Structure 1
Amino acid sequence: MIRFEQVSISYDDDTGPVLSEIDLEIAEGELCLVVGHTGSGKSTLLGAINGLVPHFTGGTLRGRVHVAGRDTRTNPPRELADLIGVVGQDPLAGFVTDTVEAELAYGMEQLAIPADVMRKRVEETLDLLGIAELRDRSLRSLSGGQQQRVAIGSVLTAHPRVLVLDEPTSALDPTAAEEVLASITRLVHDLGVTVVIAEHRLERVVQYADGMIFLPGDGRVVHGPPVEVLAEATLAPPVVELGRVAGWTPLPLSVRDARRRAPELRTRLAGCTPQTDTVPDSASPLLGARGVVVRHGETVAVREVDLDLHRGRVTALMGRNGSGKSSLLWALQGSGRRFAGTVSTGGIDPAAVSARQARSLVGLVPQTAADLLYLDTVAAECAQADRESEAPPGTCRSLLIRMIDEPDPAAHPRDLSEGQRLALVLAIQLVTAPPVVLLDEPTRGLDYRAKRRFGAVVAELAAEGRSVVIATHDVEFVAAVADRVVVLAGGEVVADGDTAEVVSSSPSFAPQVAKILAPQGWLTVEQVRRALAEDSGR
């Protein structure tokens, strides 16, 4: 179905090709997972499938890409629209109408499909994706998972034979991600659609994949069955990492496979206790919130929330899409609308002072972090951040390269990958490092290596005596870095406690290691690795 023949793609002759002399083939009806570190070329590979690279992005393509016999060199994206459907990382940014039904019909209108056929396909797609009850809803009123399914449906109505998805679960809570992936696998199994997915959260997707393409970052690709590719890849989900530590062959790809082999490992760990570095709460919190209420029109997003944030603690704020996490963060920072309640840090309400002073008390990195980038180069953004924060020159750059491999300082921030842009914004915001740091979905677009680096930065901020709050759906990251988890539902706090206590008791928010080794209290592969090393050293 998809064939790359000696494909090389470069954007700048001085930096060399992003992809170099690639030969690979993706069969019809296959679900192929594209993985690689941040900036390794995944988006370039996806863009080459429908001709966005180089027709839209520019650059030079050598070799040929054929999709169902059509050559992308001579068929620009508009001439492949009936064959290939593309869904980007942010579905809301790609919507062009106001309601679900209108969005599903829009693509067919552009292809001049007859009205009676359009009507039939809309109904079929609504049923296929389980969104029939949403047909009259405003797109902006939908949850993240619902928006993602509508975005997929908007390209499915054209009956494409190939579906290309870029980070389809990055903004979704675990339950919504499972719903979207169930819809995708149904397309593969029932309709024979060829699906190509780029995804950093491999723990969610890898068990469904028929094939895997790994980009090491040097222009090459490694293509084959997931279990074979992951055996040598430099990134892997926790279930695979645990298999490596335990010495299991072949490596498991799902929690179910791993649990079948887990009894022997649980026996080895029976006398061990997971190491935790929980910091006790200080006598007085850095920030105290009482009775916080946030309303958006008639909708109550946050309902009378009480929250204390203590020095040296990392708090994870979790909950379904639409549970009120972002609204609460904005209310705590002072920039967001607060209908009722009080917030105090050092005796000052951030909402009662200037924006500059509020940022020095409570820093916030929003979900749409890239909106904060406004200069022409990476170097200029970093230099400006150092000047505004009166930090030594190079401070921002040092923070950036601790999270990811340093991008070209002369590159335009908008030309960076999603993960690289996010890391740049995080570095800019962390230069000031106020006493309270609020991060809204900071790991979107980051691979496992970048998340480990970012986790180390978060740990250092906490060790310096700051309080860090991370609103996230990334359960594996929470298990690795958070001391405390607060769960919101319907704008209310429904759980608040130590990380192990809260996540282990939740089927949705439990990390893979906790599911595999339950009822023992292990959360991360690193905890297991340390315990086995200490046991063997006795």
Structure 2
Amino acid sequence: MIRFEQVSVTYGDAPAPAIGGVDLTVPEGELVLLVGPSGVGKSTLLGTVSGLVPHFTGGLLRGRVTVGGRDNRTHKPRELADLVGTVGQDPLAHFVTDTVEDELAYGMESLGLAPDVMRRRVEETLDLLGLAELRDRPIATLSGGQRQRVAIGSVLTPHPRVLVLDEPTSALDPAAAEEVLAVLQRLVHDLGTTVLLAEHRLERVVQYADQVILLPGPGLPPVVGDPERIMAVSPVYPPVVALGRLTGWQPLPLSVRDARRRAAGLRERLAGREPEPVGGTGTAAPPAATAARTPLGRLLRRRATTAKDGVPDRTGPLAVVSGLGVRRGRTEALREVSLTVAPGETIALMGRNGAGKSTLLSALVGMVAPAAGSVLVGDLAPHRTQPGELIRHVGLVPQEPRDLLYADTVAAECAAADSDAGAADGSCRALVHELLPEVADATHPRDLSEGQRLALALAVVLTGRPPLLLLDEPTRGLDYAAKARLVGVLRALAAEGHAIVLATHDVELAAELAHRVVILADGEIVADGPTARVVVSSPAFAPQVAKVMAPQEWLTVTQIRTALAATAATAPAREPEGTE
């Protein structure tokens, strides 16, 4: 269905191609997963299928890409629209209408389908993706995950033969992600649709893939094979594969079910042992001395000693939310929410799309006013506080980091951040250098990857050194290595005394980082407690390791590696477990 013949793409004056040596075939009616570290050209490869590369993005394309016999060198994206449906990383860039139902119908209108066909397909798609309750909602009022489902639905309604999806589950809660993947499987198995998707959250999708295409590095030719073979050599892999590599299981498990079948011996070896806290799975923040030994910790200490007078005191609670109610139009977004945030504490807000996580963060940073109850950050009511004063108490990195980035260069962004925060010249640039040492001052923020934009936005917010740091879906677009770097940064901040509240659907991030997990449902808090206690008992929000090791309360591969290392010296030699 899709044929790449010696394809390479080079942008502008880049010294090397973004992708190179791509020579492969994607068969009809298969779900093919594209994997690789950030920046290796996954989005570029996907763009060649729809014709967006090079007709929209520019660049020099060598070789040939054909889809259903159509050559994208001679067929522009509009001439492939009936054959290829595409959803990029940013749903907002995809929308052309104002309401959910209109957006689902728009693609069919463009193709001239009959009204009765359009109506039937809209209803089918609303049911498939759980969007029926949102049909009349303005898209601007939807959560990030709801927008993602609408974007996917809008390309399903024309019934394309090929679906190209870039990070399709990145903004979805676990249940919604499973629903979307179930729909994709149905399209592949029942209708013969060809699905090519790139996804960093491999734990969600790798077990469903027929083939995996690994891009090992920028410009390097891809490696293609069945999921198990590719996961054995891939630099990016989900927790169950990491557990299989650690224990020597053969074949490698790709799903929780596969891993549980082989984990009986591992559970027996670890019975009676208590998991050591890993980055926040305990109940207390790590000591500040630990952070001081890291480059970021030392940099934050220097910022503390050089900051202007008036830096908020961190001895009491940094934020207190009492009986908070928030309304968005006719919708009651939050009801009777109470939460206290202490210095050095990391809290993960979890829940379905639309549960109120982003609204709670918005209330903490003063973007929405309480309809009932109160919000205090320090002794300030955020919605009544001037932004120049508030940024020294609380900072928010939104779902779309570019919402904070307005300048034409990294250097200009940093200069503006120093000015806004009243910080010494060079403060923001020093943080950027620590987080992004390879990024030049003259780089335009739009030319950064998703992970690099996140790091730049984080540096901009940290320049004000707010005691309370809020992050909304911080791991969107991040591979496992980039996520590990982010976890290291946030641990250093917590150890330095900052409180961190993050809204996330990434259960693996919560397991690695959070002291507490707060689960929201329909605007109310339904669970609040230590991470292990909350997530192990939740099928939806438990990380993969917790599901494999249940009822034991292990959350991460790191915890298991540490425990096995502690017993290795005294334990007798063992054969690899789970070998078949």
Contact 2:49 2:67 in 1 (8 A): yes
Counterpart residue type for residue 11 of structure 1: Y
Q: Tell whether 2:181 aligns with 1:181.
A: yes
Question: Per-residue CA shift, 1:325-363, capped at 9, x if unaligned?
Answer: 111111122232222323334333333331111110111
The equivalent residue for 1:38 is: 38
Quote how far apart the aligned CAs of 1:323 are.
Answer: 1.2
Counterpart residue type for residue 153 of structure 1: G
Aligned residue for 1:437, secondary structure, equals strand
CA distance in 2, matches of 1:173, 1:421: 23
Q: How does 1:117-132 map to 2 (within 5 A)?
A: 117-126=117-126, 129=129, 131=131
Tell me: CA distance 1:482–1:178, structure 2 relative to 1, closer, same or farther (3 Å): same
Counterpart residue type for residue 20 of structure 2: S
CA distance in 1, matches of 2:234, 2:423: 38
Quote how far apart the aligned CAs of 1:496 are.
Answer: 0.9
CA distance in 2, matches of 1:499, 1:132: 33
CA distance in 2, matches of 1:26, 1:311: 51
The equivalent residue for 1:25 is: 25
Quote how far apart the aligned CAs of 1:198 are.
Answer: 1.1
Q: Normalization by structure 2: what TM-score?
A: 0.87
Quote how far apart the aligned CAs of 1:400 are.
Answer: 4.3
CA distance in 2, matches of 1:287, 1:132: 37
Quote how far apart the aligned CAs of 1:214 are.
Answer: 1.7
Counterpart residue type for residue 6 of structure 1: Q
Contact 2:146 2:354 in 1 (8 A): no
The equivalent residue for 1:297 is: 329
Q: How does 1:9-88 map to 2 (within 5 A)?
A: 9-88=9-88
Quote how far apart the aligned CAs of 1:235 are.
Answer: 1.0
Q: Tell whether 2:245 aligns with 1:244.
A: yes
Q: Tell whether 2:192 aligns with 1:160.
A: no
Quote how far apart the aligned CAs of 1:92 are.
Answer: 4.5
CA distance in 2, matches of 1:100, 1:363: 32
Quote how far apart the aligned CAs of 1:32 are.
Answer: 0.9
CA distance in 1, matches of 2:396, 2:184: 34
Contact 1:101 1:135 in 2 (8 A): yes
Q: Tell whether 2:407 aligns with 1:406.
A: no
How many percent of aligned residue pairs carry the same amino acid?
63
CA distance in 1, matches of 2:284, 2:100: 48
CA distance in 2, matches of 1:6, 1:314: 48
Q: Tell whether 2:466 aligns with 1:434.
A: yes
Q: Tell whether 2:268 aligns with 1:267.
A: yes
Q: Can you give the 5+ residue segments of structure 1 that lack an aligned partner in the other structure?
A: none
Question: Per-residue CA shift, 1:32-67, capped at 9, x if unaligned?
Answer: 111222222111111111110110001111111111
Aligned residue for 1:461, secondary structure, equals helix
CA distance in 2, matches of 1:4, 1:427: 40
The equivalent residue for 2:191 is: 191
Contact 1:351 1:358 in 2 (8 A): no
Q: Can you give the 5+ residue segments of structure 2 that lack an aligned partner in the other structure?
A: 286-313, 571-580
Q: Tell whether 2:385 aligns with 1:384.
A: no
The equivalent residue for 1:326 is: 358
Aligned residue for 1:264, secondary structure, equals helix
Tell me: CA distance 1:435–1:130, structure 2 relative to 1, closer, same or farther (3 Å): closer
Tell me: CA distance 1:88–1:280, structure 2 relative to 1, closer, same or farther (3 Å): same
Tell me: CA distance 1:280–1:105, structure 2 relative to 1, closer, same or farther (3 Å): closer
Contact 1:145 1:177 in 2 (8 A): no
Counterpart residue type for residue 207 of structure 1: Q
Counterpart residue type for residue 266 of structure 1: R
* 206-215 or 218-227: bigger deviation: 218-227
Aligned residue for 1:150, secondary structure, equals helix
CA distance in 1, matches of 2:339, 2:133: 36
The equivalent residue for 1:518 is: 550
CA distance in 2, matches of 1:534, 1:61: 53
CA distance in 2, matches of 1:238, 1:537: 25
* 385-394 or 261-270: bigger deviation: 385-394
Counterpart residue type for residue 347 of structure 1: D
Contact 2:3 2:67 in 1 (8 A): yes
Quote how far apart the aligned CAs of 1:147 are.
Answer: 4.1
CA distance in 2, matches of 1:163, 1:421: 27
Aligned residue for 2:263, secondary structure, equals helix
CA distance in 1, matches of 2:495, 2:232: 35
Paired residues, number: 538
Q: Normalization by structure 1: what TM-score?
A: 0.94
CA distance in 2, matches of 1:134, 1:191: 26
